[in-house]
Amino acid sequence: MMRQSPMPAARAAEKLLVAYFAYTAALSLYFPLSGSRRFWIFAVLALAVAYAWAAVRASRDYSLRRDLAALAFTLVAYRQMNQFRPDRHTYELERQWIVWDRLLLDEYGMRARIESLGMLLPGILELAYLVVYAVGPFGLLVLYWWNRQACTSRFLLVYLVGTLGAYALFPYFPSEPPRAVFPGLDLPGITTAIRDANLRIVGGYGIHSSVFPSAHVSSAFSAAWGLLVSVPREKRWIAGVMAGYAALVAAATVYGRYHYAVDAAAGFGVSLVALGIAVRFAARR
């Protein structure tokens, strides 16, 4: 009698997604949310559980479709955080954070240095901010291109820890971006077409729960750490390039007034947790 092969287990990234949405569901019971908001949050948890179950049932090998589906849940997680938005913002945190921004932008001359070459550096920073949504798929495509499919699970885990880790802190720091709290103040002196595109995206798809920490920064750096432990040693330069790009994203968030400087610093801090997981993978390898 032939022995049936065992059903493959869910990958670490898929388990993390279920754990994260279970966390947000539990958190919704702590915060004074309406019944409709809680229903939406628990519905997403059910969707994540269904995805993890279907992924295990449908695929016994590595699949780009399966990996991209896991990444798609970061968009769901981002929108879910809007259910934790406060009915009214007090702007207490923002009034403290703006002091550091003005010190950095004005006293230390960050804005003047960026604009010293005309539209070049502002355009580069805005472009870096615009394409940050593609760093996850880019990392996966790099691994598939270099035949590192077996490493996609570890890349996804590191990337998701950095991205979802930022989202997990949003409810505790209700805040709005500086361009909204302080309209017309501290803005870039140079406006580009790419900036206009960024403003349309954040204006139409943005949420109103929190900007702390910056998930743009945490996800970009976490993609770098994920690549660091997923590519061969001789190709680790791609992780260095990604880390350099993440630094541009961090600068863009502050210069473009999408985030406060403390948001960017906290986003980098969250990515260090993902880096710790990456280091563990490297040690095991």
Domain ranges of the chain: 89-284
DSSP 130-170: HGGGGHHHHHHHHHHHTT-GGGHHHHHHHHHHHHHHHHHHG
What pLDDT score does 63 carry? 80
What pLDDT score does 204 carry? 83
Q: What is the pTM of this model?
A: 0.93
Contact criterion met (CB below 8 Å) for 122 and 195: yes
What pLDDT score does 282 carry? 62
Low-confidence residues of the chain: pLDDT under 70: 1-8, 59-62, 281-285
Contact criterion met (CB below 8 Å) for 28 and 37: yes
What pLDDT score does 281 carry? 66
